[in-house]
Every structure is written in structure tokens, then in C-alpha cells.
Amino acid sequence: MAWHANWSEEFAMQAVPRTQTTSVTGRHVHQILSNIEKGLGSYELPIKLFTIGRTFRNENIDYKHLADFYQSDGIIIGNGLTMANLFDTLIKLYAGIGLKIRFKPSYYPFVEPGVTVEIQRGNEWLESAGAGILRREITGIARKKITVLAWGLGVERLLLVKDKNIGNIADLYGASAGWMRKMTIR
């Protein structure tokens, strides 16, 4: 169906591979926040959630992009959390695996405000993650004291940066497993 074509329910009902794992995360966050709001269950804040799943994108394939990759989402639900808490968490996460990062303001429809996390590979910086505070339209409740911090990162991109022997992200999916013996990731 082309842009500006007539809308078709039959076409709209066709399955589409997911382009992100945020839908999985959003469903869990909405359920937890609904339960908290209704006084159901016992939750101790902060709550930390992680998901991982395969995603599919319409990408121009090059050494750092594939049409499909694994995305990992991280979520922290807590009282009075701020972007400073998110930055601190991400700095510690990436430092824990030996990566230098920087943040750039960005737009993502799920969060407001939003940032892109870039990781250093030699003299270049590669996009690694999108992050921010989940919008109340996603969480399903008005943000009062409870804030939801979120990030989604590409797993293969971390390996590309971490191991200098990997020159192309597609090498991770080659027919030979011999490269795994040479990996320098620690």
C-alpha cells in the first residue's frame, strides 16, 4: 500500500514484525502501575525490569546496521526519579562493560525528554540506545510522584564496539563460529 492510498482494514490487520521491544515493556509497566494505583499486590519501589527481543527495521545495511537485531530495554519505576538518575544509571551500566558514552538530546515518541546514548569506537561515536522518561500515555497513569525511566539498546552494537576484531556487525551472524574463539570481550 502506497502513501496516500485508500485505507484498507484487511491490509491494516496484516502482521508486521516489531520495530522495537518497547511494546512488551510498556505492557508490563502499565500492569504494574495499574496495580499500584489500585492497591493490588505488594511492590517495593524502585522496580527494575529488563526485556530482550528481536526487532526488525527497514535499514540500509552497512557495517553497523542490520535489518534485524536484538534490543534490550531497561526500566526503573520509582518515586521522584529524574533524568539525572537515568544518566547515572546509564553511565554506570556502560562503564561496567568498559564503554565510554555521551548523551545527545533526541526525540523518541515513547519518552519525554529523550536522549540518544552514543558509544565511542575509536574516533567515531555510534548510536547505542534511546532513553528518557516514559510518557504518561505509555504508562497509563498521570505522573505524580512515580516516574518511569526507560532505555532501549542494540545488543549487537555493543559487541561491535567492545571487540576490535569485529569489523562488521554482520560478522556476528556468519556461518562459522570460529570467530567466537577469538573474541576479546571480558
| Domain locations along the chain | 16-158
In which band, very low, low, confident or very high, does the pLDDT at 12 lie, cut at 50, 70 and 90?
confident
CATH topology assigned to domain 16-158: BirA Bifunctional Protein; domain 2 (3.30.930)
Which is more confidently placed, 116 or 27? 116
Q: Does 105 score more than 90 pLDDT?
A: yes
User: How many CB atoms within 10 Å of residue 55?
Assistant: 17
Whether the predicted model's global pTM rises above the 0.75 cut: yes
pLDDT by residue (tens digit) across 44-70?
A: 999 999 989 988 878 787 777 777 888
In which band, very low, low, confident or very high, does the pLDDT at 151 lie, cut at 50, 70 and 90?
very high
What pLDDT shows up at residue 70? 86
Q: Which helix (H) or strand (E) holds 91?
A: helix 83-96
Q: Does 120 score more than 80 pLDDT?
A: yes
Average confidence (pLDDT) over 73-99: 95
| Sheet-wide strand order for 124-134 | 47-56, 68-79, 146-154, 124-134, 111-121, 101-108
